Copies of this chain bind each other. A is one copy, B any other.
Amino acid sequence: MTELSELIEGILRFRDERDWKKYHTPKNLIISLLIELGELSEHFQWKTNEEILQSIHDERIKEKIAEELADVAIYLLLLTNELGINLEEAILKKIKKNEEKYPVDKVKGRYVKYTELMEQ
């Protein structure tokens, strides 16, 4: 099992060996995330959800989708690193916050907007 910090290390090593840090401004990384999210979406564009889940049984398609998901993750890790944010900590904190925001007894089985919850 790999920790997030080890993945980040591998990504930074790749970047620094190529001297590419200078390209990784916050805005360039946002635009890169957009591009990769778009490429990931191409695999889903005209398929139904059932067809998407079916297509995953084809190892070549699964491989390609895994690559696009990795690209999104890599740019996300580069951006969090550039901003000095600990993504693990941020995720754990956000789950906790969402747990308080969406109490099980009020939202179980149906999605309710937070603004609607507040009005109840």
Report A's interface with B, CB cutoff 8 A.
Answer: 1-5, 7, 10-11, 14, 17-20, 23, 25-28, 30-42, 44-46, 49, 52-53, 56, 62, 65-67, 69-74, 76, 79-80, 82-95, 97-99, 102, 104, 107-109, 111
A100, chain B: closest CB distance, angstroms: 11
Q: Is the beta-carbon distance between A91 and B74 smaller than 8 angstroms?
A: yes
Q: Is the beta-carbon distance between A44 and B30 smaller than 8 angstroms?
A: yes
With A69-B80, A95-B74 as given contacts, are A33 and B25 in contact (CB-CB < 8 Å)?
A: no
* Stoichiometry (number of copies): 4
12 of the cross-chain contacts (CB-CB < 8 Å) are A2-B92, A4-B4, A10-B95, A18-B109, A19-B108, A19-B109, A26-B44, A26-B53, A27-B49, A65-B83, A66-B86, A67-B94
**Cβ of A85: which chain B residues have Cβ within 8 Å of it?**
62, 65-66, 69
Q: Is the beta-carbon distance between A37 and B27 smaller than 8 angstroms?
A: no
Q: Is the beta-carbon distance between B76 and A72 smaller than 8 angstroms?
A: yes
A51, chain B: closest CB distance, angstroms: 10
Q: Is the beta-carbon distance between B35 and A30 smaller than 8 angstroms?
A: no
